[in-house]
Amino acid sequence: MNILPRVLYLFQTLPILLPHTFFAQLRTMISTYVWNSKKPRISMALLTAPKQRGGVALPHFWHYYIASHLQRIVEWTTGSATRPWVALEQATARFPLQCLPWLPISVQKSLMDPHPLTQTTIRIWRTLTRGEGIAPFPSPLMPLQWLPTFSRTLTSTNPEGQTIPPRPKHFLTERGPTPCNQLPIPHAKSFLTRFHHHRLIQTLRSHAPIQDYIRPLTQFEALVERGRYPSHCLSMMYDMLQALTPLTSTSRTNWERELNHTFEDHQWSAICQLAHSSSTAVRVQKANYKVLTRWHKTPQVLTHFAGQGTDKCWRCDAPGASPLHIWWDCPIISDFWRSVHDCLCDVAEPPPPLTPEYCLLNHSDAPPEVFRKSIAVRLLHAACLVILRFWRKPTAPPLTVWLQEVENIRSAEERVALLQGKTAEHLQSWYY
């Protein structure tokens, strides 16, 4: 996509505050283009979801915008010397920028200078710390030395005499605050030291419960704690945001209800991934995704539209023809699937199951990276494609049409393999 690199360049070059109306307008423009100004049949939330979660990985520009600001925070905390803008922003600040995100809001406001770019990043960051996932407040990485109530008498040193940056874990445990006399600091038993220690603990308690300061690090916090700038940082931040976004798949719920089968999260992820990766033929990928999302209208659905006839199956006249009936339970189409299964048993070892989960959704006990290279999954793809060719017809597709579709898929994958230099993998999938 030519649009995404241009937008990402602007997000990273001009880290300014953008209103939500800007992204709403972007979503409207993309939806209008994708659906050709018609009513959307798949929600934008599902289209922008990763492929392993049932989406098509359409760019989520709001998440890319947030990811660009998270990338700036990683640049601050890792001290990236190859990025001159980090040094310029640090020169305008009165304290280290790597400490800024982890401090309470009141402390941030007292320490920050009016800098438009830095303030924008911190404003975006505050919206993330209110929830769980990226770095909920308070963070175990909070630099206590920048709190107004922290005293230098509480600073400890390592055996080499270097000052250890104070963190909550140095003063708190799962059982509560560490007693002052057990801290590795000078004059731990003096009254003044105990007074400063008590004041620090009370300050921490005023912001959040003690247990919140010693929670496990999130993925983002662990990345920052590592202290090295990662490769493909923007993509990593984007994937992190995508994974933390809740997604309710109505297709999964409907398939589970009709099949009377509950898919585990990893099983549904494998099904979604196979829909995109089990064939290099784009026509097959499109058909797989349409089956997965229940794209094709069945008599049960068409009856809800005015003038679309009854809910009877167009093959056997059975009432209440659901998607599972049209694809599988109809007696006429069941004979077709049994014939296809007989051919599968001749070429696949062990014999595959004759179930709708296997034949329609490619749900198999085999690992996805193994199953997607087998001949069985390609024969199933051809079966689904020929059923679509005979959609709304009173007969099932003949086996000769199915065999011709198998050859069409083989020919399309062969051309792609020649272009990509993967002829050996292609031959292994089809002939071995």
- Residues 25-32: what's their mean pLDDT? 92
pLDDT attached to residue 93:
80
Asked if residue 148 and residue 112 are part of one domain, the reply reads no
230-258: average pLDDT = 91
- pLDDT beyond 90 at 115: no
pLDDT-based confidence at residue 308 (cuts at 50, 70, 90): low
260 & 371 share domain: yes
Q: So what's the pLDDT on residue 33?
A: 92
Is 228 inside a domain boundary?
no
Same structural domain for residues 79 and 163? no
Lowest model confidence (mean pLDDT) among 47-51, 76-80, 151-155, 164-168: 76-80
pLDDT at residue 81 in the model: 60
Burial of 43 (0-12, 13-18, 19+ CB in 10 A): middle
Domain membership of residue 335 as a residue range: 250-431
Listed as own residue / partner, the contacts of 315-324 with beta carbons closer than 8 Å and 24 or more positions apart are 315/393, 315/394, 315/395, 315/396, 322/258, 322/298, 323/254, 323/258, 323/294, 323/296, 323/298, 324/258, 324/259, 324/356
> Averaged over 5-18, what is the pLDDT?
92
Regarding whether 90 and 12 lie in a shared domain, the answer is yes
Instruction: Tell me, yes or no, whether 100 and 168 share the same domain.
Output: no
Is the pLDDT reported for residue 227 higher than 90? no
Based on the fold, state whether residues 194 and 317 are members of the same structural domain: no
Question: Which range has the worst mean pLDDT, 82-86, 137-141, 294-298?
Answer: 82-86
Angle (nearest 5°) at CA 12 between 128 and 98: 55
State the Cα–Cα distance between residues 38 and 132, nearest whole angstrom: 36
Instruction: Determine, yes or no, domain membership for 230.
Output: no
Q: Does residue 355 form part of some domain?
A: yes
Residues 282 and 414 in one domain: yes
Give the rounded distance of the alpha carbon of 399 from its chain centre: 40
- Identify the band that residue 307 occupies on the pLDDT scale cut at 50, 70 and 90: low
Q: Answer with the residue of higher pLDDT: 376 or 85.
A: 376
Asked if residues 118 and 112 have their Cβ atoms less than 8 Å apart, the reply is yes
Q: What is the pLDDT of residue 80?
A: 63
Give the chain's radius of gyration (CA, Å): 29
Of 84, 103, 129, which residue is a domain's last?
Answer: 129
My answer on whether 148 and 76 are in the same domain is no
**What is residue 330's predicted lDDT score, i.e. its pLDDT?**
94
Of 383, 263, 285, which Cα lies nearest the Cα of 335?
383
Q: Last residue of some domain: 174, 192, 216?
A: 216
User: Is residue 255 located within the same domain as residue 361?
Assistant: yes
The residues, any chain, with a CB within 8 Å of residue 350's CB and separated by 6 or more, are none
Least reliable range by pLDDT among 77-91, 169-183, 226-240, 387-401: 77-91
Work out the average pLDDT over 58-63: 94
- Shared-domain flag, residues 280 and 343: yes
Please calculate the CA angle 300-305-310 and round it to the nearest 5 degrees: 45
Same domain, 256 and 149: no
Last residue of a domain, one of 129, 164, 197: 129
pLDDT for 156 equals 83
* Average pLDDT value over all residues in the chain: 90
What residues does 157 pair with on adjacent strands? 163
Identity at 425, one-letter amino acid code: E
Whether residues 152 and 124 share a domain: the answer is no
pTM: 0.88
For residue 244, is it within any domain?
no
For residue 185, what pLDDT band results from cuts at 50, 70 and 90? confident
As a whole number, mean pLDDT of residues 69-97 equals: 82
- Number of compact structural domains in the chain: 3
Residue 245 falls inside a structural domain: no
Beta bridge partners of 177: 172
- Asked if the structure places residue 239 within a domain, the reply is no
